[in-house]
Amino acid sequence: MSLSLIFDMDGTLFQTDKILELSLDDTFDYLRSLDKWNGATPIDTYREIMGVPLPKVWETLLPNHSNKDRELMNDYFLKRLIENIKNGKGALYPHVREVFSYLKEKNCSIYIASNGLTAYLHAIVNYYHLDQWVTETFSIQQIESLNKSDLVQTIVKKYRITQGAVVGDRLSDINAAKDNQLVAIGCNFDFARKDELAKADLVIDDLLELKKMLPNLSK
């Protein structure tokens, strides 16, 4: 029976931190140019909520702004993220390619399930040529509920997955695994929180650790 691994993107495969502050600063500079923001860019607030869908991000960062303003900033932020990715300012986490190659050699299926938007995810996958290993990339945009558990359920049903794991750094990833009877592997990376990782079945500090875990996941 083949094993399936479903990976989160931000903070798990992609070092979002390298382009996050840059893109967010660009976006709030634009908001300042419209005379709709004073003060510093709320980067710390964003770090606290990393992993939630972008519509919820803007509700948090711009609580007193109109939905029209939030949509405008969402679109501008997405544009800046994609441009920074294409300009090579981001990076994958160490060993992503090595681990993906190993998993494919072991006949594992690889998927990506992310709260990121489709265009953003495609920019990363295309720039780093991840599609040579990844069967399909799924965005939270594909489901109405904006719930990571429902997104993973979509993958499980489409590919009839009965054995596998969800690999991610936040509670939404851990819950998505458990809600779909998969192993929850927490990544103790940049945006991870100890209280959330405590709920995972397994915790890794480096993606390379997945190679050693694979035999046990297959049992």
| CATH assignment of the domain containing 128 | 3.40.50.1000
Both 35 and 102 in one domain: the answer is no
Instruction: List the domain range (segments joined by +) for residue 35.
Output: 17-86
What gap in Å lies between CA 136 and CA 118, rounded to an integer?
Answer: 12
For CA atoms 44, 45, 49, 52, the dihedral sign is negative
CA pair distance 22, 10, nearest whole angstrom: 15
199 vs 194: CA distance, rounded Å: 9
> Same structural domain for residues 137 and 159?
yes
192 and 101 both lie in a single domain: yes
> For residue 31, what are its two tokens?
């908001």
What pLDDT does residue 130 have?
Answer: 98
Cα–Cα distance measured from residue 150 to residue 53, given in angstroms and rounded to the nearest whole number: 13
User: pLDDT at residue 218 above 80?
Assistant: no
Instruction: State how far Cα 42 lies from the chain centre.
Output: 20
Task: Judge whether residue 219 has pLDDT over 80.
Answer: no
User: Which pLDDT score, from 0 to 100, does residue 1 have?
Assistant: 55
Please tell me whether residues 34 and 141 are part of one structural domain: no
- How many structural domains does the chain have? 2
Q: What is the pLDDT of residues 127-139, one digit of tens each?
A: 999 999 999 999 9
Which of 86, 104, 121 is a domain's end point?
A: 86
Same domain flag for 119 and 180:
yes
Mean pLDDT estimate for the chain:
94
On whether both 209 and 137 belong to a single domain, the answer is yes
Answer yes or no: do 33 and 64 share one domain: yes
Domain boundary (28, 62, 86) is at: 86
Per the CB < 8 A criterion, the answer to whether 13 and 112 are in contact is yes
- Looking at the chain, list the stretches that DSSP marks H as alpha helix, in order from N- to C-terminal side: 17-33, 43-49, 54-61, 67-86, 96-105, 118-127, 148-159, 171-179, 194-197, 209-217
Q: Is there a single domain that holds both residue 146 and residue 57?
A: no
